Structure 1
Amino acid sequence: MSDFKQVRVQQLDPLEEELAASSARGSLSHHVLQPPSRAGSSAGCLSSSYVLLGLQLLSLMVLAGLLVAVLAQVSRVPSSQGQKVCQELTQLKARVDRLCRPCPWDWTFFQGHCYFFSKSQRNWHDSVTACQEVGAQLVVINSAEEQNFLLQISKNKGSTWMGLSDLNEEATWHWVDGSPLSPSLTYWNEGEPNNVGEEDCAEITDSGWNDAKCDAEKFWVCKTSSSSCPNT
């Protein structure tokens, strides 16, 4: 009880004594003027605490409801945008399929294969490595049509390495894929190969094949299988 309430109680004590002497009013006066007990005060504080807690819970519930409503609205926006993006990607894929190239850019397509004609020059061994690094091999010639195709390119570029050598055994020519040179599929120029000065690697010239020194720098041709385009 506060000091202010204590003073009031002390001031009321004489009056209580006087009223107690009167038999008619003593009992009623005592109950009216009796200061509030500590239990009543505690109950009031507890009741106020419950009210405050209830208001806080109500505020939290309102905020939670607003948050749910906002999230519901936000969730609808990505969904519609996602459907739009999906449709655009589908349309783009259809266009790409129609523009499908069987070979990468800078490669030339011919009869189910892709060919890369170099713009720089290397020796034969480095040319083999350059093709392997892009998942291809130094060109292996398998038909007369392929030979004519490569011959036309060589006329414009100059001598070009192909994947043929007799490095493992002199005069026994093998392709880089390990297959032996077929006697029925050779296009040596007249008098070639002559192995002048240890010429163990084959090149394509503007007229046919020729053996040359493997450390000479020339253009080269890589070959790999083409990709199949999806049906549209």
Structure 2
Amino acid sequence: MAGKPELHQPNNHEEEVTLEDHDPEGLICSSKSLQGHLTRAPWLLPLLISLGLFLLMLATLVQISRICANPQGQTQDQKGSSSFGKVAVPQEQTYTGLEQIQQIQQQLTQFNASLAGLCRPCPWDWEFFQGSCYLFSRTLASWGASASSCKDLGAHLVIVNSVAEQQFLKYWHIRQSQLTWIGLSDHQREGSWQWVDDTPLKLSFWKEGEPNNAGDEDCVVIAEDKWNDSTCSANNFWVCEQPSTPCPGHARSALP
């Protein structure tokens, strides 16, 4: 009828255009449009599914590799932390240290041996024999002066107590070839021979026919390898005797 206005019914294509015009970013897509794409490219759906499965498998493998590697890392960290607080001494350095200690001990032993060699049980110019020190004079003096000289040195005129000691004195007497005073006399009482320490005579080495007290002979000398009484005022060599001083090493070894 001419009097009624005609109503305009938009087709589907115009509705889709209108909706797309109101989506400025192009984010809205109709299901019909997507179905149209899949209909035109039937290989697209399997490709998307395969790609998704590949990415899922890749992510799973990465996660598994991390889990497997993590315990080793922790073990190394624990080893590192445990060894950090310890001082590692190489075996070669330890062996070298033991060698140095042994060398020091050997040097100390040699040093002590050298000191023992330098240690003298007797003063200089004195001779050592069986625990005693002997000084053979180089000057002449009377028996009384000789006894005083020995006393000033902290010693006394020699006292003969054994055959070995007599032989020792005989050796020195032969070397000097001179008469030598010993610490024996009877000036306190005639015929009563005593040593300078007031001990009586027990062992004697008199020359045949001696003592004879010829001319008031009250003091004794070594004549050749025997004893002889002589005048105490005569000037002769003399022999002083004193105990020896043990070296420190010998003294320690003598202790039980």
**Category of TM-score, reference length = shorter chain:** 0.5 to 0.7
Name the larger-Rg structure: 2
Tell me the equivalent position of 2:207.
189
User: For residues 146 and 235 of structure 2, what CA distance do their matches in structure 1 show?
Assistant: 9
Tell me the equivalent position of 1:120.
139
TM normalised by structure 1 equals 0.58
Tell me the equivalent position of 2:189.
169
- For the aligned residues, what is the CA RMSD? 1.8
2:157 maps to a residue whose letter is L
**SS at 2:146's partner residue?**
helix
Aligned partners of 1:152 and 1:206 also within 8 Å:
no
User: For residues 108 and 207 of structure 1, what CA distance do their matches in structure 2 show?
Assistant: 19
Runs of 4+ in 1 over 4 A off after TM superposition: none
Matched, 1:218 2:248: no
1:32-111 equivalent positions in 2, closer than 5 A: 94=112, 95-111=114-130
Q: Residue deviations 1:115-138, cap 9 Å, x none?
A: 000000100000000000000000
Give 1:206 shift. Answer: 1.1
Give 1:98 shift. Answer: 3.9
Matched, 1:198 2:247: no
User: For residues 231 and 150 of structure 1, what CA distance do their matches in structure 2 show?
Assistant: 28
User: For residues 150 and 212 of structure 1, what CA distance do their matches in structure 2 show?
Assistant: 18
Tell me the equivalent position of 1:147.
166
Tell me the equivalent position of 1:229.
247
**SS at 1:221's partner residue?**
strand
- Point out where structure 1 has 5 or more consecutive residues left out of the alignment: 1-89
Indicate the percent of aligned positions where both proteins have the same amino acid.
49
1:166 maps to a residue whose letter is D
User: For residues 200 and 230 of structure 2, what CA distance do their matches in structure 1 show?
Assistant: 19
- Point out where structure 2 has 5 or more consecutive residues left out of the alignment: 1-107, 251-256
Q: Residue deviations 1:32-65, cap 9 Å, x none?
A: xxxxxxxxxxxxxxxxxxxxxxxxxxxxxxxxxx
User: For residues 175 and 109 of structure 1, what CA distance do their matches in structure 2 show?
Assistant: 21
User: For residues 132 and 151 of structure 1, what CA distance do their matches in structure 2 show?
Assistant: 23
Q: Residue deviations 1:163-217, cap 9 Å, x none?
A: 00000110110000000001xx110000000000000000011120000000000
Q: Residue deviations 1:10-39, cap 9 Å, x none?
A: xxxxxxxxxxxxxxxxxxxxxxxxxxxxxx
Matched, 1:132 2:160: no
Q: Residue deviations 1:141-166, cap 9 Å, x none?
A: 00000001001111121110000000
User: For residues 130 and 117 of structure 2, what CA distance do their matches in structure 1 show?
Assistant: 20
TM normalised by structure 2 equals 0.52
Give 1:97 shift. Answer: 4.0
User: For residues 208 and 149 of structure 1, what CA distance do their matches in structure 2 show?
Assistant: 12
Tell me the equivalent position of 2:65.
none
- Residue 178 of structure 1 is aligned with which of 198, 207, 211? 198
2:146 maps to a residue whose letter is S
User: For residues 137 and 207 of structure 1, what CA distance do their matches in structure 2 show?
Assistant: 21
**SS at 2:166's partner residue?**
helix
Give 1:99 shift. Answer: 1.3
User: For residues 125 and 116 of structure 1, what CA distance do their matches in structure 2 show?
Assistant: 17
